[in-house]
A and B are shown apart, each in its own frame.
Chain A
């Protein structure tokens, strides 16, 4: 597999890895063909404008080198961003950041995009459920 130097570097030294205790949202996604699985945890805070931001983010990935590298990159791209901005991060951004991925490995970056979106969704759902209980 011909990975770029950047992919190998992120695979070798992934950032934001590991489990998060008491996350505000968790996105669990997987690809049924390759069997790879990615979990993204987020903690949500607020910035000075009162907008919701991703205060902390972590990942756990069972998967190939591309899956691990893209997990790391998506967490870095998302960290500190508002939820609205983070939602817009696409697999293209991740692939670009890494200087490309081999064609069979494009789906790994999709997993990263989906994982982040699922984590944000999970956060919103929990928040709404919480509201529901209060009212």
Chain B
């Protein structure tokens, strides 16, 4: 099997699983309990917090564990919106956010907040001037993703955070697709809040974190016990958190090497496909793009047919976002970069990772042209163009 859908999820690194295992049956103590046994769980959580903090270059006190990227996005946006609602009700975001952000702001819109959706250019880069012009005295938050999960475009984070800082507005970024993939410092980038998710970088599913810069005003989102300094209730997912910590540590150590290796594979895939298949459109920014992501549109054929045929050959890829597969509309990201419907329909995303090899890339380059040819042969658009 060739797995090229690492932006959807990644397998757990074996070392991560190893680290997690003791915390299911042996070290099962509730971190909030008083006895010695619980201390092990407590310590494990604090160790993980330091590991994540090290990866982001912040202090452990600024890391709060959650159930994943979606919860972190919800918390960051609603938590700030509710904390600052007396100051203002205006939030700026982009048109290409993940649904975890888009549907959160849509909810806020329904209950009286005003949302501005910043457009992007054909590469998927947000319009900085548009952001500047959108700011008013009611603006309380800018939420713009670090890198897009579908096309991989990386946003000018420092420019955006500078605008936010100058105007006294909080800046949240959905960092789910960059944490563990690209090294950076939340401090240097001027980020106030950042969402991350373990399963995108070889950690377990259902656990993530929200970075909250010290001093940022935010209300709790999950109300309950006093866990996470009273900011996020619920008995901690100890094995998951331990896994997230270990995944962060491994990423910290191995990321640089991986970046070079995976980029080479991705570039080889991109060039191979471009060479062998006519009328392909490569989506995303030519340079400012995640090094593992290749999103392309195969003109005159439809994405699902491509995906299923790839699946027949044992190749896992995706068409836009995994969540979109339940709907019929083409991806909102591809429409936002200005692709017409019929071209957006033929989109295909390969996202590579740690366990991909040269042979994987060769196989896709070998198999894809035949699939495209077969589907084009029965396409009215291809035959009558």
Q: Which residues of A contact B (CB under 8 A)?
A: 1, 8, 11-12, 14, 17-19, 28, 31, 33-39, 59-65, 67-68, 104
Contact = CB atoms under 8 A, between A and B. Distances in A.
Given A8-B308, A12-B312, A18-B378, A60 B383 contact: yes
A68 B308 CA distance: 12
A1 B327 CA distance: 11
A35 to B, nearest CB: 5
B378 A61 contact: yes
Interface string B173-207: 00000000000000000000000000000000000
Contact of B308 (A14, A36, A65): A65
B305 A63 contact: yes
A18 B377 contact: yes
Contacts of B309: 12
13 contacts: A12-B309, A12-B312, A14-B378, A17-B378, A28-B380, A35-B330, A37-B381, A38-B380, A60-B378, A60-B380, A63-B305, A104-B326, A104-B328
Contacts of A67: 302
A22 to B, nearest CB: 15
Contact of B302 (A1, A17, A63): A63
B342 interface: yes
B329 interface: yes
B328 A62 contact: no
Interface residues of B, number: 24
Contacts, number: 62
Interface string B308-321: 11001000000000
| Contact residues of B: prevailing secondary structure | helix
B279 to A, nearest CB: 14
B345 A35 contact: yes
Given A8-B308, A11-B305, A33 B328 contact: yes
B300 interface: yes
A61 B380 contact: yes
Nearest to A32: B341
Contacts of B271: none
A63 B383 CA distance: 14
Contact of A19 (B328, B342, B383): B383
A8 B304 CA distance: 12
A15 to B, nearest CB: 11
A18 B383 CA distance: 9
A111 B383 CA distance: 20
Contacts of B327: 104
Contact of A17 (B312, B377, B384): B377
Contacts of A38: 380
B357 interface: no
A65 B380 contact: no
- Tell me which of A31, A35, A64, A68 has the highest count of chain B C-beta atoms within 10 A of its own C-beta: A35
Contact of B378 (A31, A34, A59, A65): A59
B308 A62 contact: no
Contacts of B378: 14, 17-18, 59-61, 68
A65 B305 contact: yes
A131 B309 CA distance: 46
B325 interface: yes
Given A62-B301, A62-B302, A65-B304, A34 B328 contact: yes
B127 to A, nearest CB: 27
